[in-house]
Amino acid sequence: MITERKLPAGLITRICNARHAVFFTGAGISKASGVPTFRDGADGTWNRLNWRLYATLDGFKNNREEVWKWYELRRLSIHAASPNDGHLGIANFEKLLPKVTVITQNVDDLHERAGSQSVIHLHGSLFSHRCAACAHPHTMNVTSPEGQIVASTPQPRCTRCGGWIRPGVVWFGEGLPEADFANAVAAVNDCDLFFSIGTSLDVYPAANLAFMAAKRPVCVVQVNPQKTVLNDQATFTLKEKAEKALPAILQAISEGSQHV
């Protein structure tokens, strides 16, 4: 367990002096909320399932009903999940620093539900949908009489062209949402503090943001229980879970700690 005394020397001072902090997050930050990661251990989604079947346009076309059902189940389980101390910790930084931008690869809405105001979704969202044929946006507001979100099966059709509705996530081989990626690059170029939290940095172009930050004269803090390629380039690496590390940092800041 991380304690205040275990935080690296100088970390808190660098954080407290920051003008604009970027929090770049991946699946690891949502793990404590019960959302599985992709490549982390036996329950990692892509260690159990073939991403070519579940995360490509061809997979969707060839196995549409099963893929739709799988994304609906994910949408439901995330709706039932709650933000954890990692998400809540990031949201709390907005009260401490002049500017905070969250850039996430996650398709859940847990940062928003934790209270983060400015969240850029690089890989889309399980809660936005569009037509697979004409890209017309589709609003899914399927609730039970008790107000719970329920799975939308059978799969809906586009009201404009009749095409199949698909989840608004970015699949392998597809481009990132241009405006979101441009905003993310601008935030990385403007920030003076960059956190990389809970990501293996295995997926591009998103991972490039961390390497862009590391090339700039900014403080780069990595939070991850496992080693990544960023270890050699980060200013500080906390080999710890997000839901432990972020509250420990906030605690040290609130105590005005002298020994960090």
Q: Is 44 in the site for ligand OAD (CB under 6 A)?
A: yes
**HSE, side-chain direction, 13 A CA sphere, residue 121:** 18
For ligand OAD, which is the closer residue by CB, 71 or 252?
71
Residues 20 and 99: beta-carbon distance below 8 Å: yes
How many C-beta neighbours within 10 Å does residue 173 have?
Answer: 10
Q: Is residue 33 near ligand OAD by the rule CB under 6 A? A: no
20 is catalytic: no
Give me the least distance between CB of 36 and ligand OAD, in Å please.
8
Q: What is the distance, to the nearest Å, from the Cα of residue 203 to the centroid of all Cα atoms in its chain?
A: 13
Strands 165-169 and 124-131: antiparallel
Nearest to 199 by CA among 174, 225, 160: 225
Q: 196 to 255, contacts with ligand OAD by CB under 6 A?
A: 197-200, 202-203, 223-226, 228, 241-243
Number of residues that bind ligand OAD (CB under 6 A): 31
Q: Is 123 in the site for ligand OAD (CB under 6 A)?
A: yes
**By CB under 6 A, residue 107 contacts ligand OAD:** yes
Give 130: exposed, middle or buried? Use CB within 10 Å, 0-12, 13-18, 19+. Answer: middle
To ligand OAD, the closest distance from the beta carbon of 75 in angstroms equals 13
* 83 scored as a contact of ligand OAD (CB under 6 A): no
Q: Which of 87, 123, 129, 138 is catalytic?
A: 123
Q: Which residues of 78-94 are buried (b: 16+ CB within 10 A; e: fewer)?
A: beebebbbbbbbbbbbb
| Residues at the site binding ligand OAD, with contacts judged by CB under 6 A | 26-29, 31-32, 37-40, 44, 55, 105, 107, 123, 169-170, 197-200, 202-203, 223-226, 228, 241-243
Q: Which residues are catalytic?
A: 123
